[in-house]
């Protein structure tokens, strides 16, 4: 992530401290100050009446689109569900891994300017995997609009997703409420979802008190293309990414000079007249790039070093290129797979690693809402079989009590008065060390 203004960090720390000490009073004060919304105590949580009213404000086309997206996302994420497993070896040792859902999770859903552009798709991407994982309590927070409500499309989506609690809280104060709790908001165990720099810094600050899904930087797309690609397709996809905000990153990596010039021309042509033209132009001017390289090998190497959030492959043989890509959050293969599909209806999660973290990070998934606990069961005989090794390793580490914890189980009468159990053959209280091997 880019260097953060110290003033942002200080502001976030102040907000979190206020939320932690003053609870709902701080949330209402920040709603007035930052969101320009006057809410009364008891109005932070969305009511059933508000949800019912929202249904009357959305049309059938939205409901159809919502159901299509939901079904695709659910189908893809179902395959990620892990199961507990157990095994027993020949010595009678019983081992296993129990997989549990995280009990409660909170998702932050950005609302755009004044809550007018809520990311409905983000609500789906953050809550569907949690529901599949089996989380008992799923909470969503999103900034309110000027009239003190949430967008009806967002409310209907959350209702259809069976979200348990919905709060009209935005920014760093929402993260504080989810992490620490207030009179109206019970704290959660994990917080997920993207947001601006204040939200990102708040998630960083509360890490430890709760788990988080990491820090999301600006949206990114890299398009890898050769002479077979269509310039208008590529330009449209780069513009779509730049539309997110002025810090979004859109890059073309190509081996064809004429294509590079054609894409540059298409970018200028297509951006005119769009609602967010100013944002797009600023993004492309400051962070947009067209890289012209000598060979496809070099281009693939550059892409792997960038490790983009989103990668599109527009080449004559995209499958061959796909096999050589090692670092990307999501890969969209071929000219008929624009990245916007991944934003909405393809199925894979669009909450992806950014800022080069695709080198080691993964998309948000069901696995992010699961925790794992190891289970170990030894019998007396199987314990005796490893006693010498445990004793040796414990003494090497200078941890005498560790060794004693095992040895006491074979020393003297047991607590029931039974005679001392016989040692396993070859088992001594203090195993002899092996003679040191000398060099010939």
pLDDT in tens, 204-243: 999 989 999 988 888 999 999 999 999 999 999 999 999 9
What pTM did the predictor assign? 0.88
pLDDT for the residue numbered 18: 97
**CA-to-CA dists, residue 311 to 199, 204, 299, angstroms:** 26, 27, 12
pLDDT for the residue numbered 245: 87
Instruction: Find which of 160-169, 216-225, 348-357, 425-434 is predicted with most confidence, using mean pLDDT.
Output: 160-169
Say if residues 271 and 277 touch (Cβ distance below 8 Å): yes
The answer to whether the 8-215 and 220-350 domains have the same CATH topology is yes
- Give the pLDDT band (50/70/90) at residue 419: very low
pLDDT for the residue numbered 2: 57
Say if residues 151 and 46 touch (Cβ distance below 8 Å): no
Number of H helices, E strands in the chain: 16, 13
- Give the pLDDT band (50/70/90) at residue 77: very high
Provide mean pLDDT across the span 182-206: 95
> Does pLDDT of 435 surpass 60?
no
For CA atoms 272, 278, 283, 285, the dihedral sign is: positive
- Give the pLDDT band (50/70/90) at residue 416: very low
> Does pLDDT of 31 surpass 90?
yes
Provide mean pLDDT across the span 401-426: 65
Q: Using CA atoms of 92, 97, 98, 100 in order, give the dihedral in degrees to the nearest 10.
A: 170
Judging by beta carbons within 10 Å of its beta carbon (0-12, 13-18, 19+), is residue 34 exposed, middle or buried? Answer: middle
The percent of residues in the chain predicted with pLDDT above 70, rounded, is 92
> Does pLDDT of 145 surpass 90?
yes
Pairing of strands 137-142, 220-225: unpaired
Q: Which fold has domain 8-215?
A: Rossmann fold (3.40.50)
pLDDT for the residue numbered 30: 95
- Give the pLDDT band (50/70/90) at residue 196: confident
Class of the 220-350 domain? Answer: alpha beta
Domain boundaries, the chain: 8-215, 220-350, 379-432
> Does pLDDT of 170 surpass 50?
yes
Distance between CA atoms of residues 289 and 220, nearest Å: 12
Which is more confidently placed, 43 or 4?
43
> Does pLDDT of 423 surpass 50?
no
Tell me what the pLDDT averaged over the chain comes to: 92
Distance between CA atoms of residues 294 and 105, nearest Å: 48
For 347-371, write each residue's pLDDT tens digit.
Answer: 999 999 999 999 999 999 999 999 9
């Amino acid at each position: 992530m880019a260097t953060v203004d110290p003033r942002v960090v200080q502001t976030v720390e102040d907000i979190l401290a206020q939320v932690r000490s003053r609870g709902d009073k701080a949330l209402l004060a920040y709603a007035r100050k930052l969101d320009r919304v006057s809410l009364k105590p008891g109005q932070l949580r969305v009511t059933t009446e508000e949800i019912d009213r929202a249904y009357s404000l959305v049309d059938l086309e939205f409901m159809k689109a919502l159901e299509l997206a939901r079904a695709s996302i659910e189908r893809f994420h179902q395959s990620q569900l892990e199961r507990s497993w157990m095994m027993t070896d020949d010595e009678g040792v019983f081992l296993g891994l129990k997989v549990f859902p995280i009990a409660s999770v909170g998702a932050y859903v950005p609302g755009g300017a004044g809550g007018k552009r809520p990311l409905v798709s983000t609500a789906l991407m953050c809550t569907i995997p949690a529901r599949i994982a089996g989380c008992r309590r799923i909470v969503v927070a999103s900034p309110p609009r000027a009239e003190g409500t949430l967008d009806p499309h967002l409310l209907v989506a959350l209702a259809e997703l069976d979200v348990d609690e919905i709060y009209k809280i935005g920014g760093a104060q929402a993260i504080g409420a989810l992490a620490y709790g207030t009179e109206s908001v019970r704290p959660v165990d994990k917080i997920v979802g993207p947001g601006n720099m204040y939200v990102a810094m708040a998630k960083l600050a509360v890490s430890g008190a709760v788990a988080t899904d990491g820090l999301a930087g600006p949206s990114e797309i890299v398009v890898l293309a050769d002479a077979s690609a269509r310039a208008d397709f590529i330009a449209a996809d780069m513009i779509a990414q730049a539309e997110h905000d002025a810090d979004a990153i859109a890059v073309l990596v190509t081996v064809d000079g004429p294509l590079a010039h054609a894409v540059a021309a298409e970018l200028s042509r297509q951006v005119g007249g769009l609602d967010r033209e100013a944002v797009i132009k600023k993004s492309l001017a400051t962070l947009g790039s067209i890289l012209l390289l000598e060979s496809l090998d070099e281009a693939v190497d550059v892409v792997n070093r960038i490790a983009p959030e989103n990668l599109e492959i527009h080449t004559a043989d995209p499958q061959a290129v796909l096999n050589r890509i090692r670092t990307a959050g999501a890969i969209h293969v071929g000219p008929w797979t624009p990245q916007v599909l991944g934003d909405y209806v393809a199925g894979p999660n669009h909450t992806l690693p950014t800022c080069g973290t695709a080198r080691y990070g993964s998309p948000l998934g069901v696995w992010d809402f699961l925790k794992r606990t190891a289970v170990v069961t030894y019998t007396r005989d199987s314990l005796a079989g490893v006693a010498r090794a445990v004793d040796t390793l414990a003494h090497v580490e200078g941890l005498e009590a560790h060794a004693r914890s095992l040895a006491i189980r074979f020393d003297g009468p047991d607590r029931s008065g039974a005679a001392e159990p016989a040692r396993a053959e070859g088992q001594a209280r203090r195993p002899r060390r092996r003679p040191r091997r000398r060099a010939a």
